[in-house]
Amino acid sequence: MANINNQSKDFKSGFAAIIGAPNVGKSTLLNTMIGEKISITSQKPQTTRNRIAGVVHLPNAQIVFLDTPGIHKSKKTLNKQIVEVAMAAISDVDIVLLVIDASNPNPASEALIINKISEYKNLPVILAINKVDLIKKPKLLKFIDQWSKAYSFKEIIPISALEGIQTDILISAMQSLLSFGPPYFPEDIITDMPERFIASEMVREQVFNLTKQEVPFSTAVTIESFKEDADRKLVRIHAAIHVEHNSQKGIIIGKQGSMLRAIGEAARRDIQRMVGAKVLLKLFVRVEKNWSKKARSLRKLGY
């Protein structure tokens, strides 16, 4: 275990915010760099709603990454709130890691982000051009040229978060920008989020993956009970899936409970890998009318 009071002059540490438009691969990148799944992923945009910290331990450095929600323009109460979470993270870090999707640019969100980071003149920014495995080299070279003119980045590094292409180079570039200082976390800690929060996110991930249209965006998950039985190597979890309308409740439950079972089985497998024990997961579905539009409901559900 690392000594968090270590004052070695050779050790570097710091915080880095991973920012970008929705669905550019920020959470996948964080999971790849850490080597564990702590941030949920989905093909659907705006999956991440909270700021999630992941810790990368290196021989002579520690980088604490903040995975943030996708930055975009929206008039919806929930979306505006999660964008504020992402924007706020920029002011609390030593490095900004801007991730863009080479295969599917988002000019409106990217312009919004550039305007925001421009407010922090002395904050180093690295650009990661993600999903380079999906485009041809001439297009990549054009991207690099365009972005080198758009902002004064410390580095521009093409990567594939999913395939792990050049993620080691990306980590080295960030390490070089860190200041000398002791580690913030012991070596056996990879996130500051409690297991019950990650468990709730793993349930929500399966709602995103298995349901369609607007249903995933109208759901939230809370853990009502998380009990560990160390002697039996067993974890019992009761979780509630909150929806906004009765029709959505029916979709989540499915015919004869088939959808709810599928969500529970997939989430349980991920949670078991996380906790290293057998998991008994019981899911409930509750209607909280228009929760995503009400400030009080958002607070109640952890947003």
Of residues 187 and 87, the one with the higher pLDDT is 187
- Local confidence band at 77 (pLDDT 50, 70, 90 cut-offs): low
pTM over 0.75? The answer is no
Residue 302 has pLDDT above 50, yes or no: yes
Average pLDDT of the residues in 173-185? 94
What domains sit in the chain, N to C, each tagged with a CATH number?
12-180 (3.40.50.300), 195-300 (3.30.300.20)
Residue 133 has pLDDT above 90, yes or no: yes
Residue 171 has pLDDT above 90, yes or no: yes
Q: What angle do CA 292, 296, 299 make, to 5 degrees?
A: 80
DSSP labels for 158-190? E-BTTTTBTHHHHHHHHHHHPEE---SS-TT--
Structure tokens at 65: 């990454």
- Local confidence band at 42 (pLDDT 50, 70, 90 cut-offs): low
- Local confidence band at 4 (pLDDT 50, 70, 90 cut-offs): very low
Residue 89 has pLDDT above 80, yes or no: no
Bin 46: left if φ > 0, else alpha if -120 < ψ < 50, else beta.
left
